[in-house]
Chains A and B, each alone.
Chain A
Amino acid sequence: MASKLLIAVPSKGRLKDQTAALFERAGLALRNTGHERGYRGTLDGLGGVEVVYTSAAEIVHELKSGRVHLGVTGEDLIRETLADVDGSVEFLKPLGFGSADVVVAVPDCWIDVARMADLEDVAAQFAGVHGRRLRVATKYMNLTRRFFAGHGVAGYRIVESVGATEATPSAGTAELIVDITTTGTTLRANHLKVLEDGLILRSQAHLFASRAAPWRASTSKLRAAILAKLS
């Protein structure tokens, strides 16, 4: 067990299917094993590797703590969750799926707002008129804070949102949002527009290596073998 390489892959949704397809194409098809239905597996044609199925968000924590050596998850989750990204994980390979942009979007009727700099002015005006700060609905609290601070926008409050974020401005529970978008269709359907300089992160799924995992000669060799097959 100690000499085995542990690799965490998403356990559900499109990320799971796309990861499975990628490994299959590389000749390393994922195989479920054991009685714990679906939670553990192996790689076809490469011994000494144990596959751990878990959620994309949980994979970030597994990588950080070093409970797995490798993991497939989204860059957005890595950058949102880890305080010290480069000290915790290594970006081994972008995988070409799971693409999503994390963006700042406002109601499209805000024709006086085009850029982040406008937002701080609106925040000051809004506080004067409504007696409270602008609310930003998002599940990306840390990405939002860093990005807004970098643009000198401070007159806002974050309201945590874990679903249907794009509906919060028209519902009146937030004034603007930070969310992921792939085609922009959902944003447009909700009468939202992305600010000109409102792209926070162009994210996709990556293969990550944990810096905290116990790397030995054997596991490093397995990692090189997987990477070579995926390339």
Chain B
Amino acid sequence: MAAESAKEFEALEAQATTLLDLFRRAGYEQVAPSIIQPADIFLDQIGEAIRSRTYVFTDLAGDELCLRPDLTVPVSRLYLERHPNADQPARYCYNGPAFRFRPQGDDQAHPREFRQAGIECFGEADTESADVEIVLLAVEAVRRAGLKDFRLRFGDIALFYALLDALALPERWRLKLRHHFWRPPVFHALLARLAKGERPNGDGPASALAASLTGLTTERAEELVGAYLDTEGLPLSGNRSLSEITARLLDHAADLRAEPLPREVATVIDYYLAVSASPKEAVERIAMIAKGAGIDLGGALSANTRRFERLAKSGVALGQAVFATEFGRSLEYYSGLVFQIEVAGLDEAIGGGGRYDGLLSYLGAPSAVPAIGSAIHTERLLAAVGRGG
């Protein structure tokens, strides 16, 4: 148990009351989604970092279940249960346990069972205002709990996507770079390959076959690949179809023909991902990088300028804050603003959150639902406040 002593339990309960009072008064309805969640839908959407630390088990009926490692997905599922058409805005708050396996053992800073207090905002069309609302509320929450000295770290996935969109590169490479954003070492290796003029897929044994597909229609290419499989005695089996295999060979054929990625384009991406500074400075530097590259990041950059202005006006001290373009690469469902609340001397954040506009359609919503939330690690918050934070 996270709270082993009665005293600590009472302190956590008092803190939870403070947080939930604030959230409810801000218009967030308190909910308590199930602790036990279906493993499938859950694990498919969460990144590897947390997936590998989720407690998964099979019950007596043979269903694969998990102890929720996080509350965002359970609250999102609850929203869809109440609003299957996802056609109404809703604001929820919660305080409850979450569970994560700790490879180095269970300790105070990394308990395997901990309580998350948080807020989630669904369906708010004015996304800029919702972003500001969530950050303000999260900051106000840790302040009310007694935390004085902390700093904010920001990132923005949408800004990175805007950068890729604005740069001249083949769509399949753009998709590949987007996909690998979440794994920096792979990302940088891929970028280096492309910049050196190498093909992302190298020259595997199927290169010759791929080259022979150049310029063919999809149907004709599939026929050829099917004939090749027959000749080689490789029967199609499993769930991947002939058209999926052919599609990748056609991509490969296009790669073989493509001009290498201009070195300047790779440099722009590298420069962009190296930006880490105060929000004001970071936004200026990104604007300079864009200007130097002759590209327009459009609304994605000005949205950041406005967001930081609004936060500053509302009394959030951004002097110590950091905007880091690489930040936010751990939870794959994030799609826009990401932020966390950090305390000196603690390697993990007190709380954090972000925008996840793609998650609800993955979970079954009939259309995309703008969504953003934030969660606070309550044991860490209590410890930081106790240390005079």
A124 touching B245 in the complex, CB below 8 Å, given contacts A109-B234, A111-B234: no
Stretch at the interface among B18-26, B121-129, B150-158, B247-255: B247-255
- Say if the beta carbon of B44 comes within 8 Å of chain A: yes
Q: Within B185-226, which residues are at the interface with A (CB < 8 Å)?
A: 185-186, 189, 200-202, 204-206, 209-210, 225
A120 engages B237 (CB within 8 Å): no
Stretch at the interface among A31-39, A67-75, A129-137: A129-137
Report chain A residues within 8 Å CB of B210. Answer: 112
B238 engages A169 (CB within 8 Å): yes
A-B contact pairs, 27 of them (CB 8 A): A83-B103, A107-B237, A107-B238, A108-B234, A109-B234, A110-B245, A111-B229, A111-B234, A111-B245, A112-B210, A117-B186, A117-B201, A118-B201, A118-B204, A120-B186, A121-B200, A122-B240, A124-B179, A129-B241, A129-B244, A130-B239, A132-B40, A157-B43, A157-B44, A175-B238, A175-B240, A191-B237
A154 engages B183 (CB within 8 Å): yes
A111 touching B185 in the complex, CB below 8 Å, given contacts A145-B52, A169-B238, A170-B237: no
A112 engages B179 (CB within 8 Å): no
Report chain A residues within 8 Å CB of B44. Answer: 132-133, 157
Report chain B residues within 8 Å CB of A147. Answer: none
- Say if the beta carbon of B47 comes within 8 Å of chain A: yes
A111 touching B249 in the complex, CB below 8 Å, given contacts A122-B240, A154-B48, A170-B237: yes
A126 touching B240 in the complex, CB below 8 Å, given contacts A152-B185, A154-B183: yes
- Say if the beta carbon of B55 comes within 8 Å of chain A: no
Give the B interface residue count (CB, 8 A).
Answer: 43
Mask, A92-127, CB within 8 Å of B = 1, is 000000000000000111111111011011101110
A149 touching B238 in the complex, CB below 8 Å, given contacts A121-B248, A125-B247, A129-B244: no
7 more CB-based (< 8 A) A-B contacts, given A83-B103, A112-B204, A132-B40:
A109-B229, A109-B236, A109-B238, A111-B245, A114-B206, A126-B240, A152-B180
- Say if the beta carbon of B143 comes within 8 Å of chain A: no
Report chain A residues within 8 Å CB of B241. Answer: 129
- Say if the beta carbon of B228 comes within 8 Å of chain A: yes
Report chain A residues within 8 Å CB of B14. Answer: none
Q: B32: shortest Cβ distance to chain A, in Å?
A: 28
